[in-house]
């Protein structure tokens, strides 16, 4: 039977977390069948033959494109056979109601992407973040809206292979690739969400992006240049400039931290990341300590 949705899961060296993530997909209620496409990025393939699949299917393939998250996701997108494609990070998981809550949203042909609210599990406990029911490009320019997490995305396959386009493999370190997808999706169709927290995001482990400050600088600088629409949102531009400033501070590059912080403040004097960047750049507090404190509260930089 043709799957109604393909779940693309890029993975690298997280075998136990991956099993939890895949099991949560197979545990979806009131939907089916589901196809899981595991994309192994530079690691040995394991088809998880011991997991109970029920009515669902699983295929494991190697990343055949650019090494990294973007190339792995695109390998999975192109290998998928369903009209809808979902993403799930290999260290996150879905509640059993997730897909059933999203499928009715995709009945509207103008909807290109549907998300859900999220439940963050961090060192500080569980934090529920309800997502807005819909967002537009101006909303996303102003704020990343972190409640719209890629592990909750369901996207039309024909859009990913057409007007929306694949994940950007030129984005440095693949940093912000999910934000880029959202920005592009808002330009070609509607973005909606089931507001309840149907997706579990785990911040109680080390992220592959933790402390990779140069990748953050390069990725966010690339996004600012790629999406000139940021110029119409001083608040949004300052937010990204503040993040770049913070990353420069964490790298110990005080001149660049100050320069980017001044740019951020020039666009929005209330931008807190700019002031944090100054503190980090001066060595008063470490970038890792700030990020750890934010993550503990279910927040990100």
> How high is the mean pLDDT of the chain?
90
In whole angstroms, give the CA distance from residue 206 to residue 150. 18
pLDDT in tens, 95-117: 999 999 999 999 999 999 999 99
Residue 177 Cα to chain centre, angstroms = 7
Return the ∠ at Cα 52 (arms to 33 and 5), rounded to 5°: 20
| Phi, psi of 297, deg, nearest 5 | -95, 10
The reported pLDDT for the residue numbered 297 is 55
The reported pLDDT for the residue numbered 78 is 98
**Closest residue by Cα to residue 34 from 94, 91, 74, 90:** 94
List beta partners, residue 84.
156
pLDDT in tens, 132-182: 999 999 999 999 999 999 999 999 999 999 999 999 999 998 999 999 999
pLDDT in tens, 8-55: 999 998 889 999 999 999 999 999 899 999 999 988 898 898 888 888
Return the ∠ at Cα 118 (arms to 179 and 272), rounded to 5°: 55
The reported pLDDT for the residue numbered 56 is 93
The reported pLDDT for the residue numbered 283 is 62
30-39, 182-191, 268-277: range with highest mean pLDDT: 182-191
Structure tokens given for 2: 């043709």
pTM recorded for the entire structure: 0.90
pLDDT of 209 higher than 50 = no
pLDDT of 208 higher than 60 = no
The reported pLDDT for the residue numbered 249 is 84
List of domains in the chain: 5-202 (3.90.550.10), 213-296 (no CATH)
pLDDT of 210 higher than 60 = no
The reported pLDDT for the residue numbered 299 is 58
The model's confidence at residue 85, banded by pLDDT at 50, 70 and 90, is very high
The reported pLDDT for the residue numbered 94 is 98
The reported pLDDT for the residue numbered 134 is 98
**Closest residue by Cα to residue 77 from 10, 144, 24:** 10
Structure tokens given for 227: 């999406």
Average pLDDT for 79-104: 97
Average pLDDT for 46-74: 93
Higher pLDDT, 293 or 188: 188
């Amino acid at each position: 039977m043709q799957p109604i949705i393909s779940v693309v899961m890029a993975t690298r060296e997280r075998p136990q977390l991956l099993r939890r993530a895949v099991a949560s997909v197979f545990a979806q209620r009131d939907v089916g069948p589901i196809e899981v496409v595991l994309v192994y990025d530079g690691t040995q393939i394991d088809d998880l033959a011991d997991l109970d699949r029920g009515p669902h299917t699983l295929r494991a393939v190697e990343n055949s494109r650019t090494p990294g998250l973007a190339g792995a996701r695109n390998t999975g997108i192109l290998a998928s056979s369903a009209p809808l494609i979902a993403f799930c990070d290999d260290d996150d998981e879905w509640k059993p109601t997730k897909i059933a809550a999203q499928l009715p949203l995709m009945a509207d042909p103008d909807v290109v992407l549907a998300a859900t609210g999220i439940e963050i599990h961090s060192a500080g406990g569980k934090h529920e973040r309800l997502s807005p029911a819909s967002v537009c490009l101006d909303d996303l320019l102003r704020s990343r809206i972190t409640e719209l997490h890629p592990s909750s995305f369901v996207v039309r396959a024909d859009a990913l292979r057409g007007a929306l386009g694949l994940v950007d493999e030129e984005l440095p370190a693949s940093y912000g690739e999910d934000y880029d997808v959202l920005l592009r999706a808002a330009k070609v169709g509607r973005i909606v969400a089931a507001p309840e927290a149907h997706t579990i995001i785990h911040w109680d482990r080390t992220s592959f992006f933790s402390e990779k400050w140069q990748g953050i600088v390069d990725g966010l600088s690339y996004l600012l240049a790629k999406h000139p629409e940021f110029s119409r949102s001083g608040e949004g531009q300052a937010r990204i400039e503040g993040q770049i400033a913070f990353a420069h501070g964490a790298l110990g590059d005080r001149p660049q931290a100050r320069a980017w912080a001044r740019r951020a403040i020039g666009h929005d004097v209330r931008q807190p990341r700019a002031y944090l960047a100054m503190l980090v750049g001066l060595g008063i507090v470490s970038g890792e300590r700030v990020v750890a404190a934010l993550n503990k509260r279910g927040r990100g930089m």
